């Protein structure tokens, strides 16, 4: 299950589904639509869901609360979170967020906002959080000063809406999490390791094929959601590639030293909550 609405950040999974790659691996994969009310960590733990895409924040919180979850791979090598401001707003850095209205989409985004504010010596009490979601119209109308999102999504929407805006990248202010974690339960790995292996392999192949064949990817995406224009999808997919395929690591693999540092900062046993061997075997089949 994705952790947001249909978008290019899940393109590899949709590619694998649309073009029959999951079927080639003898998987009858169903990709559920995102629902704000759906508790993915609980559903994984209860066996109602086999796999889910999560933010690092959601994964960390779930593990800290005792969830028996493990990460299998991370699609985003670089933190894609951004804050969008109008060019005439006078906002150019986190210090300028004080007293401004910032969209709050969910708990995960509140934590990201809090982290960005902390770099400027600010707290959540220094800003006005405005509930919001996918619809960017409050930003367009000026009811919200700062809109948050992923680099390949909302900034493209804002650009296509003709709004003159600037982007503040969370990565530039020390938010360096992996994102787009593919997560499962430890019980799923113990019970059906062959299914986990097949799903990881098919998904990584889907991502590889999606990157090589952007127009085929765009067609698959538009077949899923005809409200997304070809122009949006092309711009979005072009923007996402540097975040997932920077060249340092194969798509999906995480640097173990960096992962260890991120998890230790959150008082979690880094080695116990990452099962990267399935992805490693996809790229390096000699590893058994």
Q: Mean pLDDT across the stretch 104-133? A: 95
Residue 178, pLDDT > 70, answer: yes
pLDDT of residue 5: 85
**Rounded Cα gap, residues 23 and 62, in angstroms:** 31
* Model pTM above 0.85: yes
State the average pLDDT for the chain.
94
Q: Which of 180-189, 208-217, 247-256 has the lowest mean pLDDT?
A: 247-256
Give the pLDDT of residue 67: 86
Residue at token pair 């991502």? 207
Cβ contact 155:141 at 8 Å:
no
The encoded tokens of residue 199 equal 């799903």
Using pLDDT thresholds of 50, 70 and 90, give the confidence band for residue 260. very high
| Residue pLDDT, tens place only, 271-285 | 899 999 999 999 998
Provide the token pair at 168: 């503040």
- Measured in whole angstroms, the distance separating CA 155 from the mean position of its chain's CA atoms is 15
Structurally, at CATH architecture level, domain 81-173 sits in 3-Layer(aba) Sandwich (3.40)
Q: Report residue 118 as tokens.
A: 């902390």
Query: How far apart (Å, rounded) are the C-alpha atoms in residues 178 and 51?
Result: 17
Over residues 214-235, mean pLDDT: 94
Res. 198: pLDDT tops 80: yes
Mean pLDDT of 10-39: 94
Banded pLDDT at 288 (limits 50, 70, 90): low
pLDDT of 74 > 70? The answer is yes
For the chain, the structural domain boundaries read 8-77+177-283, 81-173
Contact 53, 67 (CB under 8 A): no
User: What is the predicted pLDDT for the residue at 150?
Assistant: 94
Q: What is the pLDDT of residues 121-148, one digit of tens each?
A: 999 999 999 999 989 999 999 999 999 9
Tokens of 48: 């109602």
Per cent of the chain over pLDDT 70 is: 99
43-60 pLDDT, tens digit per residue, is 999 999 999 999 999 999
Strands (E), 115-155: 128-131, 146-150
pLDDT of residue 246: 72
Mean pLDDT of the region 203-215: 97
Residues in the chain: 288
Contact 261, 56 (CB under 8 A): no
Does 245 score more than 90 pLDDT? no
pLDDT for position 287: 65
Band (pLDDT 50/70/90 cuts) for residue 248 is: confident
Mean pLDDT on 174-180: 92
Res 100: pLDDT: 98
State the DSSP H helix or E strand holding residue 199, giving kind and residue range, or none if neither: helix 193-212
Mean pLDDT for the stretch of residues 99-108: 94
- Do 8-77+177-283 and 81-173 share a fold? yes
Strands 146-150 vs 128-131: parallel, antiparallel or unpaired? unpaired
Superfamily of domain 8-77+177-283: Periplasmic binding protein-like II (3.40.190.10)
């Amino acid at each position: 299950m994705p952790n947001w609405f249909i978008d290019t950040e899940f393109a590899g999974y949709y590619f694998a589904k649309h073009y029959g790659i999951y079927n080639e691996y003898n998987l009858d994969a169903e990709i559920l639509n995102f629902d704000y009310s759906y508790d993915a960590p609980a559903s994984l733990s209860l066996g109602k869901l086999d796999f889910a895409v999560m933010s690092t924040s959601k994964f960390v919180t779930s593990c800290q609360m005792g969830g028996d979850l493990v990460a299998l791979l991370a699609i985003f090598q670089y933190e894609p979170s951004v804050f969008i401001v109008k060019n005439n707003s006078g906002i150019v850095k986190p210090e300028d967020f004080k007293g401004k209205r910032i969209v709050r989409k969910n708990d995960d985004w509140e934590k990201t906002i809090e982290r960005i504010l902390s770099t400027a010596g600010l707290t959540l009490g220094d800003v006005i959080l405005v509930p919001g979601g996918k619809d960017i119209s409050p930003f367009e109308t000026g009811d919200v000063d700062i809109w948050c999102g992923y680099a390949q999504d909302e900034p493209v929407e804002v650009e296509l809406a003709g709004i003159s805006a600037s982007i503040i990248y969370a990565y530039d202010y020390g938010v360096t999490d992996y994102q787009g974690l593919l997560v499962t339960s430890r019980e799923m790995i113990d019970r059906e390791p062959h299914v986990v292996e097949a799903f990881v392999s098919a998904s990584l192949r889907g991502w590889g094929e999606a990157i090589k064949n952007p127009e085929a990817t765009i067609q698959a995406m538009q077949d899923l959601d005809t409200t997304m224009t070809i122009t949006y999808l092309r711009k979005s997919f072009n923007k996402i590639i540097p975040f997932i395929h920077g060249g340092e690591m194969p798509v999906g693999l995480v640097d173990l030293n960096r992962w260890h540092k991120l998890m230790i900062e959150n008082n979690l046993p880094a080695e116990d909550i990452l099962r990267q061997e399935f992805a490693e075997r996809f790229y390096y089949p000699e590893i058994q």
